[in-house]
Amino acid sequence: MNILAGMAPAVRVIEGVAPDAIPFDQLMADQAPVILKGIAADWPLVRAGLASADAAIDLLQRFDAGRPVVTFTGAPEIQGRFFYDESVTGLNFTGRREPLTPLLDAMRPRIGDPAAPSIYVGSTDLDEYLPGFRVENDLVLDHPMFAQHLASIWIGNRTTATCHHDMSHNLAVCAVGRRRFTLFPPDQIANLYPGPLEPTPGGQVVSMVDFAAPDFDRHPGFREAMATAQVAEMEAGDLLFYPAMWWHHVEALAPFNVLVNYWWNTSPAWLDTPQLTLLHGMLSLRDRPAPEKQAWKALFDYYVFGDASQPAAHLPEAARGPLAPIDAVAARRLRAQLLHRLNR
């Protein structure tokens, strides 16, 4: 059980939006989680799942390309919470690749069995592994920002993806079953007590707080995080939008669950991931004396986090170099300089 269920404010819900009229510009302007109620209610998968788990499985198997998918399995004792072992140096589940259709057939007779292992198929590219699925089951993404996006599917029984953040914006469709997202704004990172950088349960750093039974002696700041939380209770056909970098704790609540999501970024493709900057910052800045760190913070505020036009505004255009807006050519040049210096 999630301690915040029924306690935290609900994510804003908008009803009556047509599937071809999703207000993408407004969602991006607001930069806040919101549910668009029933936007995918007419998907064949949604209708099949409302009929039965077997019907949903039958539909998914129709599109199976036969390629092995990444599957995670945990003992019944983990109660669906994919997390660390007691040492926090390993994980409480195992992962492997296996064909989707036999996996789903093996799940069928144990759907709803509390003694069954916890199973989920992690983020799986729809176009590659279930070709044709999106012909019948898809959002209308008629906006330029979706020129480059990833559509993926998650399949499993009652499982929990521990609170984490992603670097992309997300449209998440509860296609089968029920989902609960508990969301926190990015500034709550310290109050969520992030775990190790590696290993991680799913590729991203996760919160060490047990949302079912928080230990406020070990994690006192979580009370502050709780005050900022929003909870999205989703039924089949509902769509949740949440912005990049928002922390989210995701619970699959039905005996069989399917989530379809769409990830995208609005930044140019030639920009490197800030995660690399973070790691290099730990290498080059974190352990310096406090006065030096403050001085470098001022430099970063000026060159990186402040008004991007200010550092170059007083310089002739020909002298601006990397202070000018970064394009693909400038990105390649900067990357080459960095690689050269890192390899010295």
Sign of the CA dihedral with 296 first, then 300, 302, and 305 last: negative
Cβ(131)–Cβ(65) under 8 Å? yes
How would DSSP label each residue in 126-193? Answer: HHHHSTTHHHHS-----SGGGSSEEEEEEEESS-EEEEEE-SSEEEEEEEES-EEEEEE-GGGTGGG-
Cβ(256)–Cβ(111) under 8 Å? yes
Report residue 329: phi and psi, to 5°: -70, -45
- Predicted local confidence at residue 343, as pLDDT: 84
> pLDDT over 70 for what percent of the chain?
100
Global confidence as pTM? 0.94
Q: Is residue 76 very low, low, confident or very high in pLDDT (cuts 50, 70, 90)?
A: very high
* Full set of structural domains in the chain with CATH: 12-264 (2.60.120.10), 274-342 (no CATH)
Q: Per mean pLDDT, which range of 12-26, 53-67, 212-226, 261-275 is the poorest?
A: 261-275
Angle in degrees, CA 277, 278, 280, rounded to 5: 65
Alpha-carbon Rg for the chain, nearest whole angstrom, is 22
And the tokens for 303? 């060159």
Check whether 210 has a pLDDT greater than 90: yes
Sign of the CA dihedral with 323 first, then 25, 40, and 110 last: positive
The 10s digit of each residue's pLDDT in 220-266 is 999 999 999 999 999 999 999 999 999 999 999 999 999 999 999 99
Sign of the CA dihedral with 232 first, then 235, 239, and 244 last: positive
Cβ(169)–Cβ(25) under 8 Å? no
Give the CA count within 13 Å in the CB-facing half-sphere of 261.
Answer: 20
Cβ(312)–Cβ(323) under 8 Å? yes
Q: Is residue 340 very low, low, confident or very high in pLDDT (cuts 50, 70, 90)?
A: confident
The 10s digit of each residue's pLDDT in 168-182 is 999 999 999 999 999
The residue among 307, 304, 154 whose CA lies nearest residue 234 is 154
Check whether 269 has a pLDDT greater than 90: no
Cβ(84)–Cβ(256) under 8 Å? no
Q: Per mean pLDDT, which range of 88-102, 250-264, 317-331 is the poorest?
A: 317-331
How would DSSP label each residue in 49-73? Answer: HHH-HHHHHHHHHHT-----EEEEE
Longest dimension (CA), the chain: 71
Cβ(205)–Cβ(195) under 8 Å? yes
- Predicted local confidence at residue 271, as pLDDT: 87
Check whether 1 has a pLDDT greater than 80: no
Which are the contacts of 75, defined by CB distance < 8 A and separation ≥ 6? 92, 93, 117, 118
Environment class of 48 (CB within 10 Å of its CB; exposed 0-12, middle 13-18, buried 19+)? buried
Q: Is residue 94 very low, low, confident or very high in pLDDT (cuts 50, 70, 90)?
A: very high
Q: How far is residue 262 from each of residues 21, 163, 170, 195, 259, measured CA to CA in Å?
A: 17, 19, 6, 26, 10
The residue among 264, 166, 157, 249 whose CA lies nearest residue 211 is 249
Which are the contacts of 193, defined by CB distance < 8 A and separation ≥ 6? 207, 208, 209, 218, 219, 221, 222
- Predicted local confidence at residue 277, as pLDDT: 92
